[in-house]
Amino acid sequence: MNRLIAALRRTVAPVLLPVLLGTVTVATAQSLPPSLFLPEAVLPRQTVEAAPYPVALPTGQPRAPISKFRYEFKGQTKSLDQYLSEAKVRALLVLKDGKIVHEFNRFPYHRRSLHQSWSIGKQVLSALVGVAIAEGAIGSVDDRMDAYDPSLALNGFAGVTFKQALQMSSGVAYDEEADRFKLFLDVITNFYTFGRQGQNLAQKTYDAALTSAYVPGSRYEYASINSQAISSALEKAVGMPYKDYLQRKLWQRMAMPDDAKVLVDREGQAFTFCCLYATTRSYAAFGLMYARGGALYGRQLVPQDWVRRSTRLDADTGNWANVPRDGNEFGLYGFGYHWWPLAGERGDFSALGVFGQAIHVLPEQDVVIVRMSGDFDTPGAHAEENVFMGRALADYLSRP
């Protein structure tokens, strides 16, 4: 153990070592600067291999120069450069009509950098559930998850459907900020103590302490543990690990030119509520597929109806009122099947991750905007500004 600790001290930021060994409280851990909590520094990742016959996104020229683009937000007129600076953007990629019309990478990031998805991983998970339903591995979004994974019947997930978990209305008692951080703590501790302490992802998901706090489907309550329950049931339904299903049924079928990675625990179980690592071009291709109703390069990869139901709001598919989110002053965000539909008549929607990760999809204008940020200062401070900027940029790029 002493040798292990010494090795960790040489390779991991010193502030993370107490986290690994489980010697800090959740309250103390939450006080760590977000920029210093890097799960990929302390847990392994598995590779999602690129397609054997990849297709690269083509490049094009915007009709109007990006340098002249301006947008309005809260009475201020801003340039794109100002937005990139204020929102601490690490990388920005813009597609128009399926072509890259703007690509920005702040040093030391570059075209092939793998960016942490954070909760954008939830939207990728949602796509795979749609694929599994289309292939018949899952009968319906209304099926109980514990019908596929009986271990989910042992706690608050008993009887919860895929739909209820996708809508964040499972009813499971979960404090998103404290419990999500404790999940990381327990999994990291479990990894570095060789399973003697902490818990792995399966143990966290099946934990009897996850009780039911309200009737499933009766209200929205964001809880990342829902995503882990979904992927556990998905894996049982399709008969393979999440990483393999992602690689075979989505990544390689999308003809992705770049590898991606998924964070895993000691048992090789994937984090599915977060922690996909991919290039901005890969995220853009994923957004483009959704912009085009689940089709990419002439192939229908995700059912069109699933895309519609995932990203729109009505009485059946999503929640609008009382969707709490940092930076939702204007009430722009609702919640569908693990996606964030946006208010208004545009029919646009977003994939979102903490610290400023976003894929803004605007199907009517065939625009996709990928933003990867280190926006740690104020949670959600630029979430809605991202929508104002993205809509204005889509209008700007679509001028005759």
> How many helices and strands, by DSSP H and E, does the chain display?
13, 14
Summarize pLDDT for 202-228 with one digit per residue, the tens: 999 999 999 999 999 988 899 999 999
Check pLDDT > 70 for residue 19.
no
Cβ–Cβ < 8 Å for 398, 348: no
Q: Per-residue pLDDT averaged across 343-351, rounded?
A: 93
pLDDT over 70 percentage in the chain: 86
Position 41 pLDDT exceeds 90? yes
Beta-strand (E) ranges in the chain? 45-48, 70-73, 76-79, 89-96, 99-105, 115-116, 260-263, 276-278, 295-296, 299-300, 340-341, 349-353, 357-362, 367-373
pLDDT confidence tier of residue 349, bands split at 50, 70 and 90: very high
Mean pLDDT of 132-147: 98
Contact (CB, 8 A) for 49 and 247: yes
pTM score, whole prediction = 0.92
227: enclosing H helix or E strand: helix 225-238
The gap from C-alpha 223 to its chain's centroid, in whole angstroms, comes to 13
Decide if pLDDT at 299 tops 90: yes
For residue 263, report the phi and psi dihedrals to the nearest 5 degrees. -75, 140
Instruction: Say which residue, 210 or 323, is predicted with more confidence.
Output: 210
Q: What are the pLDDT digits (tens) for 258-273?
A: 999 999 999 999 999 9
What confidence tens digit (pLDDT) does each residue in 62-98 have?
988 999 999 999 999 999 999 999 999 999 999 999 9
pLDDT at residue 12, rounded to an integer: 45
pLDDT in tens, 352-377: 999 999 999 999 999 999 999 998 76
pLDDT bucket at 381, cuts 50 / 70 / 90: low
Give the up-direction half-sphere exposure of residue 341: CA atoms within 13 A in the CB hemisphere.
Answer: 23
Band (pLDDT 50/70/90 cuts) for residue 158 is: very high
Kindly report, residue by residue over 88-137, the tens digit of the pLDDT. 999 999 999 999 999 999 999 999 999 999 999 999 999 999 999 999 99
Domains of the chain: 47-120+253-400 (3.40.710.10), 138-238 (1.20.58.710)
